[in-house]
Amino acid sequence: MFKKRFFLFASISALIFLITCSCSKNNKNNDRKSSTLVFNMQEESETIDPQLVRGETGIYAVSVCMEGLTRPGKKPGEILPGVAKKWEVSKDEKTWTFYLRKNAFWSNGTPITAMDFYFGWKRALEPSTGSTYSAFLYLIKNAKKYNRGKIKNFSKVGLEVINDYTFKVRLDSACTYFPQLTVFPVTFPVNKTFYNKNKKKYGLSPYHMLYNGPWKMVSRIPGQGGMIKYRKNEYYWNIKNIKLDKLEFEIIKDDNTAANLFMNNQIDITRILPDIVNRFKDNPNFNDNIHYISDGAVWYIGFNTENKFFKNRKIRKAFSMAINRKILCNKIRKDGSEPAYALVPYNTIGDKNFTFRKEFSNKLFSENNKKARKLLEEGLKEIGAKHVQARLLLNSNPQNTKIALFIQEQLRKNLEVKIYLNQTTFKNRLQKMRQKNYDFVYAGWGPDYNDPMTYINLFTSWNPNNNTSWSHEKYDELVSLAADSPENRTRMKAMAEAEKIIINEMPIAPLFFSSRVYLVNNHIKDLIFGLGGKPIFYWAYCN
Amino acid sequence: MLKYILKRVFFSLITLWLIATITFVLIHCLPGDPFASEKAIPPAIKAQILKKYDLDKPIHIQYLNYLSQLIRGDLGISMKERGRSVNSIIAVHFPYSLDIGIKAVIFGTVFGIIMGVISALNRGNSWDTTALLIAIFGVSVPSFVIAGILQFLVILISNLTGYHILPVAGFSNFNSTILPSIALGMFSVAMITRMMRASMIEVLGQDYIKTAKAKGCSPSTIIIKHGLRNAIMPIVSYMGPMIAAILTGSFVIEKIFAIPGLGKYFVDSIFNNDYTVILGVVVFYAAFLTVMVLLMDISYGFIDPRVRVHGRRKR
């Protein structure tokens, strides 16, 4: 009796719990509208203020809901009109005139004028704004000086509002790819009246922002099935051709969770690490969802040329030649990355219709263990040392660690050199690189715009991001020539020459051009992957 | 009682001050720089940013500024999410951690107590064995494995039946909190089952239970009024640390289930060198912990008649 009653009590309370669990059962997945797309952004965007945003995800989140003078097209390097319906350039490629369309409006219905661009760019260059991407505008006449506080008068900067719909930009030097730069958030317009009203909160919440892109952000509150929500912006000039009504960006960092959600049909697009690709490859329901997308980054070993061993060119070359890049890409990365035997990745545009790599040779050097050993021997003799003692710096995450271990093993096997790993956090790696407090480092570089210059420029003696301490007079000369030349053919040739010098001197040893693995739901059509391997939803629709 | 509480509050404040100070010293020893990014920032811009966050001042001034801010309840502005205050980060994200935390605590205690009582009443038979097996499973399998198994089961069921019972991850409604709460509360279920079983067996063997039975009390009265109330004491003392552990330890579960809780900030801020967020969240959690422990100590007095506090505690 006693026991029976107790069981009755226990089972009833258990039942009540289960019922409350299942009562609120609703078909959450079924009420997802066909014109809504759920994308896993993975990281949170730190702000949506176009001039202050600096992380990859933040830049992306802003680019969805705002538009600059131009916007990215479908093909790599292609640029389409944005707020500007057309533009003209002077013969010397130094003066750019943008004609703004009259049907471009902010999300509150006020027209977008040249003044909004002037104000936005001024804000980016204002030293007190603290915009980390202000260097993007340094091509503009006097912009660098103003940004660094050397001149106080903004009217000296090469920006001019001719009338409400004409915006003129004067550059210090020729720049054939300038319309590619105006795709970037730091160049987005800011409405002065609105900004002055919301100064303190601008960009911090969706309601304290004005949008001019195809979608506007309506919520940025965690929970409720999506961290960031966008709705169609009815004031957008090309709204007729935008097919997706709603975009929802989730922030799911864990790759396994993202994969699980994808399988459960809760998200449409997510990036995953190659380690879990096999789960989908072997599954007939999912194997056509896998997409390998090049993200335009080049990964390399950077040598600190102040280091006692790596100041020797032959040792640097020996290290580079002893690492088998094909195995690295096929067995370690497994994500469609391609071996790099040059600095500039495949999708980078060259002269006219060719990519840079198609126009110039693909393979500027090759691996050769015998040659590598010989070079190492000679190099060691030159500096009078018996063996190399060096530590490879990297920021540790499962992928990087695997690659570093592979490099360690290759050098041991092919060169009989024992190296040590120095694993640290990302921020600390950057700090050590800047302080030149490292021997050699595993690092990567992604493009800001689609032109070889974004990579070639990196190793000039004046570039603050050149952490190798390497400098080369001829190289600097060629890069300056390419930077100043209005003629595309001359530029490309000069950059190809410069690239050859890099490969010959090997201050960095390129390893691979990286790719990303995406899972994309099959009902999404016309999804384009843009610069940096990020999806562009402009033309996308759900079937 | 009041004197006792005041004394405890005073010591809690000292603890908090010590935690804030030690954390302050430690984060300034961290290698790296909160504003470092792959692209070098021009020195002039960097100086402006440092000035904005008072990082250009000598360290002792920074410390004093920080303390005076802390006393006013202002935790500063995040360095990564520029412009966003730490107070608002905590206000927005902590409720999510609290939500699944509370559900995990309720799940853990309710099921733990029920299973503990069942196995104590059925000592030696199959009910007891089942309960103990679940308890051993809960103690020895880490929560993230349980989380993975739960997700896998949900996908398996929805693939087989074509019907989505529960969301795999994300935070939208009550349904989406079920799996994380179970994964998070499983360890507590196991611990409480074992403790409850032991203490219930001890209590049921006491003379006053026999007396109650002889008096003709109904079995449910005996179990609930005489048995449970006495046997629950060790559980109450375990609740304090358990609640703290669940709320501060939910990081992994939050990550696996993509719940926008505070745990992410607790861990990520360290990688980002986000000084203000590290300090803010650490101090917040520390305050939360001390308050929890204090509340548990006080609640003893109400539950156990033997621990009536007169300025002195008994364990």
Helix segments in chain B, DSSP class H: 2-29, 43-52, 59-71, 86-121, 126-140, 143-161, 174-204, 207-215, 219-221, 229-231, 233-248, 251-256, 263-271, 275-303
Contact residues on chain B for A128, CB-CB shorter than 8 A: 48
Is A24 in Cβ contact with B174 (below 8 Å)?
yes
Mean pLDDT, residues B133-154 taken together: 91
Contact residues on chain B for A201, CB-CB shorter than 8 A: 83
Residue bearing the bigger pLDDT, A510 or B272: A510
Give yes or no for a contact between A168 and A97, defined as CB atoms under 8 angstroms apart: yes
Mean pLDDT, residues B18-36 taken together: 88
User: How is residue A21 written in tokens?
Assistant: 């669990």
At residue A25, the pLDDT reads 37
pLDDT at A23 > cutoff 90: no
Side-chain-side CA neighbours of residue A223 (13 Å): 17
Mean pLDDT, residues A233-260 taken together: 90
- On whether residue B85 sits in a domain, the answer given is no
Taking the CA of residue A279 and the nearest CA in chain B, the distance in Å comes to 13
Lowest-confidence pick of A232-236, A290-294, A338-342, B302-306: B302-306
Contact residues on chain B for A446, CB-CB shorter than 8 A: 38
pLDDT at A4 > cutoff 70: no
Taking the CA of residue B312 and the nearest CA in chain A, the distance in Å comes to 38
For residue A225, give the nearest of B121, B170, B223 by CB distance: B170
Taking the CA of residue B58 and the nearest CA in chain A, the distance in Å comes to 21
Chain B residue with CA closest to A132: the answer is B41
In chain A, the largest separation of any two C-alpha atoms, in whole Å, equals 100
pLDDT at B311 > cutoff 50: no
For residue A256, give the nearest of B42, B93, B148 by CB distance: B148
Cα distances from B74 to residues A481, B70, B71, B90, in angstroms, run 53, 5, 7, 12
Q: Which residues pair with A160 in a beta bridge?
A: A168
**Amino acid identity at A245:** D
Mapping DSSP to helix (H, G, I), strand (E, B) and coil, where does residue A253 land? coil
At residue B251, the pLDDT reads 86
Under the banding of pLDDT at 50, 70 and 90, the label for residue B314 is very low
pLDDT at A123 > cutoff 90: yes
At residue A1, the pLDDT reads 45
Residue B179: which CATH number?
1.10.3720.10
- On whether residue B200 sits in a domain, the answer given is yes
* Most confident of the following: A279-288, A468-477, B265-274: A468-477
Contact residues on chain B for A264, CB-CB shorter than 8 A: 154-155, 158, 164, 167-168
Contact residues on chain A for B213, CB-CB shorter than 8 A: none
At residue A220, the pLDDT reads 80
Using one digit for the tens of pLDDT, what is the confidence trace for A270-311? 999 888 888 888 888 888 899 999 999 999 999 999 999 999
pLDDT at A225 > cutoff 50: no
Taking the CA atoms of chain A, what radius of gyration do you get in angstroms? Answer: 26
Under the banding of pLDDT at 50, 70 and 90, the label for residue A493 is very high
pLDDT at A18 > cutoff 70: no
- On whether residue B271 sits in a domain, the answer given is no
Residue given tokens 């999806």 in the structure block: A535
Is A224 in Cβ contact with B220 (below 8 Å)?
no
Using one digit for the tens of pLDDT, what is the confidence trace for A159-181? 999 999 999 999 998 888 899 99
Backbone angles phi, psi at A393, to 5 degrees: -90, 135
Q: Which residues pair with B206 in a beta bridge?
A: none
Contact residues on chain B for A263, CB-CB shorter than 8 A: 155, 159, 168
Strands A159-163 and A95-100: unpaired
Candidates B79, B90, B115, B164, partner chain A, best to mutate (most A CBs within 10 A): B164
Using one digit for the tens of pLDDT, what is the confidence trace for B160-208? 887 777 888 877 788 888 999 999 999 999 999 999 999 999 998 888 8
Lowest-confidence pick of A29-38, A253-262, A351-360: A29-38
For residue B255, give the nearest of A55, A250, A253 by CB distance: A253
Mean pLDDT, residues A386-396 taken together: 93
- In whole angstroms, what is the distance from residue A62 CA to residue A189 CA? 12
Taking the CA of residue A139 and the nearest CA in chain B, the distance in Å comes to 15
Helix segments in A394-438, DSSP class H: 398-415, 426-434
Give yes or no for a contact between A81 and A70, defined as CB atoms under 8 angstroms apart: yes
Using one digit for the tens of pLDDT, what is the confidence trace for B73-121? 888 888 887 778 899 889 888 888 999 999 999 999 999 999 999 999 8
- In whole angstroms, what is the distance from residue B232 CA to residue A268 CA? 48
Chain A residue with CA closest to B29: the answer is A428
Is A49 in Cβ contact with B82 (below 8 Å)?
yes
Using one digit for the tens of pLDDT, what is the confidence trace for A512-535? 999 999 999 999 999 999 888 899
- In whole angstroms, what is the distance from residue B206 CA to residue A270 CA? 60
Under the banding of pLDDT at 50, 70 and 90, the label for residue A20 is very low
Is B256 in Cβ contact with A257 (below 8 Å)?
yes
Taking the CA of residue B175 and the nearest CA in chain A, the distance in Å comes to 7
Is B258 in Cβ contact with A6 (below 8 Å)?
no
Contact residues on chain B for A44, CB-CB shorter than 8 A: 81
Task: Find the angle CA(A400)-CA(A48)-CA(A132) to the nearest 5 degrees.
Answer: 65
Under the banding of pLDDT at 50, 70 and 90, the label for residue A332 is very high
DSSP string of A327-368? HIIIIII-SS-EE-SSSS-TT-B-STTSBHHHHS-S-S----
Taking the CA of residue A271 and the nearest CA in chain B, the distance in Å comes to 15
Candidates A11, A18, A200, A264, partner chain B, best to mutate (most B CBs within 10 A): A264
Mean pLDDT, residues A482-498 taken together: 90
Give yes or no for a contact between A72 and A85, defined as CB atoms under 8 angstroms apart: no
Contact residues on chain A for B44, CB-CB shorter than 8 A: 127, 147-149
CA dihedral angle for residue A452, residue A453, residue A459, residue A465, rounded to 10 degrees: -110
Using one digit for the tens of pLDDT, what is the confidence trace for B209-264? 888 888 888 888 888 888 888 888 888 878 888 888 888 778 889 888 888 888 88
At residue A9, the pLDDT reads 56
Mean pLDDT, residues A404-423 taken together: 94
Candidates B39, B88, B252, partner chain A, best to mutate (most A CBs within 10 A): B39
Give yes or no for a contact between A369 and A399, defined as CB atoms under 8 angstroms apart: no
- On whether residue B54 sits in a domain, the answer given is no
Mean pLDDT, residues A52-62 taken together: 87
pLDDT at B315 > cutoff 50: no
- On whether residue B177 sits in a domain, the answer given is yes
- On whether residue B226 sits in a domain, the answer given is yes
Give yes or no for a contact between A510 and A298, defined as CB atoms under 8 angstroms apart: yes
Under the banding of pLDDT at 50, 70 and 90, the label for residue A53 is confident
In chain B, the largest separation of any two C-alpha atoms, in whole Å, equals 86
pLDDT at B307 > cutoff 70: no
pLDDT at B300 > cutoff 80: no
Q: Which residues pair with A437 in a beta bridge?
A: none
Give yes or no for a contact between A292 and A310, defined as CB atoms under 8 angstroms apart: no
Q: Which residues pair with A271 in a beta bridge?
A: A518
Under the banding of pLDDT at 50, 70 and 90, the label for residue A224 is very low
Q: Which residues pair with A419 in a beta bridge?
A: A390
Q: What is the mean pLDDT of chain A?
A: 88
Cβ neighbours of residue A27 closer than 8 Å, sequence gap 6 or more: B164
pLDDT at B312 > cutoff 80: no
**Amino acid identity at A184:** F
Under the banding of pLDDT at 50, 70 and 90, the label for residue B305 is low
Contact residues on chain B for A130, CB-CB shorter than 8 A: 45, 48-49, 52
Candidates A8, A26, A46, partner chain B, best to mutate (most B CBs within 10 A): A46
Q: What is the percent of chain B where pLDDT is above 70? A: 95
Contacts across the A-B interface (CB distance below 8 Å) = 185
Taking the CA of residue A94 and the nearest CA in chain B, the distance in Å comes to 24
Contact residues on chain B for A250, CB-CB shorter than 8 A: 170, 258
Closest C-alpha to B299, from B289, B309, B290: B309
Chain B from 67 to 126: CB within 8 A of any A CB: 80-84, 92-93, 96, 110-111, 114, 117-118, 121-122
Cβ neighbours of residue A502 closer than 8 Å, sequence gap 6 or more: A343, A456, A459, A475, A508
- In whole angstroms, what is the distance from residue A204 CA to residue A249 CA? 17
Mapping DSSP to helix (H, G, I), strand (E, B) and coil, where does residue A90 land? coil
Candidates A18, A257, A272, partner chain B, best to mutate (most B CBs within 10 A): A257
Using CB atoms within 10 A of its CB, is residue A386 exposed (0-12), middle (13-18) or buried (19+)? exposed
For residue B151, give the nearest of A135, A147, A260 by CB distance: A260
Does B48 lie at the interface with A, CB-CB under 8 angstroms?
A: yes
At residue A223, the pLDDT reads 46
Taking the CA of residue A369 and the nearest CA in chain B, the distance in Å comes to 33
Which letter does DSSP use for residue B85 in this model?
B
HEC readout, B24-53: HHHHHHCCCCCCCCCCCCCHHHHHHHHHHC
Is A261 in Cβ contact with B168 (below 8 Å)?
yes
Does B169 lie at the interface with A, CB-CB under 8 angstroms?
A: yes
Overall number of domains in chain B: 1
Q: What is the mean pLDDT of chain B?
A: 85
Chain B residue with CA closest to A57: the answer is B81
For residue A257, give the nearest of B96, B111, B169 by CB distance: B169
For residue A251, give the nearest of B37, B258, B272 by CB distance: B258
Mean pLDDT, residues B123-142 taken together: 90
pLDDT at B39 > cutoff 80: no
* Domain housing B101: 93-262
Contact residues on chain A for B80, CB-CB shorter than 8 A: 46
Lowest-confidence pick of A118-122, A207-211, B188-192, B294-298: B294-298
Give yes or no for a contact between A212 and A238, defined as CB atoms under 8 angstroms apart: no
For chain A, how are helix, strand and coil distributed in percent, rounded to 5? 40, 20, 40
Mapping DSSP to helix (H, G, I), strand (E, B) and coil, where does residue A478 land? helix
- In whole angstroms, what is the distance from residue A439 CA to residue A469 CA? 12
pLDDT at A93 > cutoff 50: yes
Lowest-confidence pick of A154-168, A501-515, B148-162: B148-162
- On whether residue B2 sits in a domain, the answer given is no
- In whole angstroms, what is the distance from residue A44 CA to residue A249 CA? 10
For residue A430, give the nearest of B36, B80, B257 by CB distance: B36
Does B161 lie at the interface with A, CB-CB under 8 angstroms?
A: no
pLDDT at B310 > cutoff 60: no
Is B172 in Cβ contact with A223 (below 8 Å)?
yes
Packed helices A2-23 and B86-121: angle between N→C axes, nearest 10 degrees = 150
- The per-residue b/e assignment along B84-109, b for 16 or more CB within 10 angstroms, e otherwise, is bbbeebbeebbebbebbbebbbebbb
At residue A77, the pLDDT reads 83
- On whether residue B6 sits in a domain, the answer given is no
User: How is residue B35 written in tokens?
Assistant: 């504003």
